[in-house]
């Protein structure tokens, strides 16, 4: 039964040593350990929340960027389309102008040719009339002498004209 009866001396030693140990360890070990653990936990927590915030900001930035990029792309498309349209219009205009001026030139050329032709015809007609008058004059002069001689004369004049 001695096993079950606590010894007074041991109880006193145990209480003294344990209470002393408690104060010693509390001051020298538990206090720094607990505070360091807490400090580290809060710093880890802060780091994690900061990282999470940064991650969200990054995502926000990325989506903003994508939005901007999309807008830029759309704007570019619009600009390109407008440019293409403008260039097409310019080309068409130029073609039209060119055709117009070409037609005008042709028209003018044709008119000029006609005027020249008319002038030439008029000249020919005048010349023919003059020739006819000359021939008639000479014929009339010759006719007075000889028929034959007149004929020869006409021929000689004609030759003369041809030679001219």
Partner 1 sequence: MSVSSSILRRISILSLLFVLLFSGAKAQEEPMPEFNDHESTDKKEFNASEVILHHVMDDHIWHLFDGHYGTIYLPVIVYSSEKGLDVFSSRNFYGEHHNVVEYNGYKLEHNHIYLADSNKAVFDLSITKNVAMLFINAALLVIVFLAVAKGYKKNKGKAPSGIQSFFEPIILFVRDEVVKPNIGHHYEKFFPYLLTLFFFILFGNLIGLLPGAGNLTGNIAVTLSLALLTFIITNVNGNKAYWSHIFWTPGVPLPLRLVILPVEIIGIFTKPISLTIRLFVAITAGHIVLLSLISLAFIFGSIWVGFGSSIIVLFISLIELLVAGIQAYVFTLFTSLYIGMAIADHDHH
Instruction: Name the one residue in this structure whose structure tokens are 């117009």.
Output: 100
145 belongs to the binding site for partner 1 (CB under 8 A): no
Contacting range for partner 1; rule: CB under 8 A; set: 4-12, 45-53, 97-105, 148-156: 4-12
CB of 55 to partner 1, least distance (A): 23
Contacting range for partner 1; rule: CB under 8 A; set: 24-32, 51-59, 83-91, 154-162: 24-32
- How is residue 3 annotated by DSSP? G
17 belongs to the binding site for partner 1 (CB under 8 A): yes
- How is residue 30 annotated by DSSP? I
Q: Which two tokens stand for residue 106?
A: 């042709």
Binding mask 42-61 for partner 1 (x = CB under 8 A): -x------------------
CB of 51 to partner 1, least distance (A): 17
Contacting range for partner 1; rule: CB under 8 A; set: 5-13, 92-100, 130-138, 154-162: 5-13
Q: Quick one: how many helices (H) and strands (E) in the chain?
A: 3, 0
CA gap 55, 47 in Å, rounded? 12
CA gap 124, 130 in Å, rounded? 10
Of the residues 40, 53, 73, 117, which one makes contact with partner 1 according to CB under 8 A: 40
CA gap 23, 118 in Å, rounded? 137
CA gap 37, 45 in Å, rounded? 12
Which spans of this chain sit near partner 1 (rule: CB under 8 A)?
2-15, 17-22, 24-26, 28-34, 36-37, 40, 43
């Amino acid at each position: 039964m001695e096993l079950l009866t606590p010894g007074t001396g041991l109880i006193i030693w145990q209480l003294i040593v344990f209470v002393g140990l408690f104060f010693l360890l509390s001051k020298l070990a538990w206090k720094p350990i607990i505070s360091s653990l807490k400090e580290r936990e809060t710093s880890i927590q802060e780091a994690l929340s900061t990282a999470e915030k940064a991650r969200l900001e990054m995502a926000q930035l990325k989506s903003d960027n994508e939005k901007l990029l999309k807008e830029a792309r759309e704007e570019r498309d619009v600009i390109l389309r407008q440019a293409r349209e403008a260039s097409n219009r310019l080309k068409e205009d130029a073609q039209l102008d060119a055709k117009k001026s070409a037609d005008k030139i042709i028209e003018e050329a044709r008119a000029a040719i006609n005027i020249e032709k008319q002038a030439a015809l008029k000249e020919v007609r005048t010349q023919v009339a003059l020739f006819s008058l000359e021939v008639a004059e000479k014929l009339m002069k010759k006719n007075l002498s000889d028929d034959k001689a007149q004929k020869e004369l006409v021929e000689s004049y004609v030759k003369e004209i041809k030679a001219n």
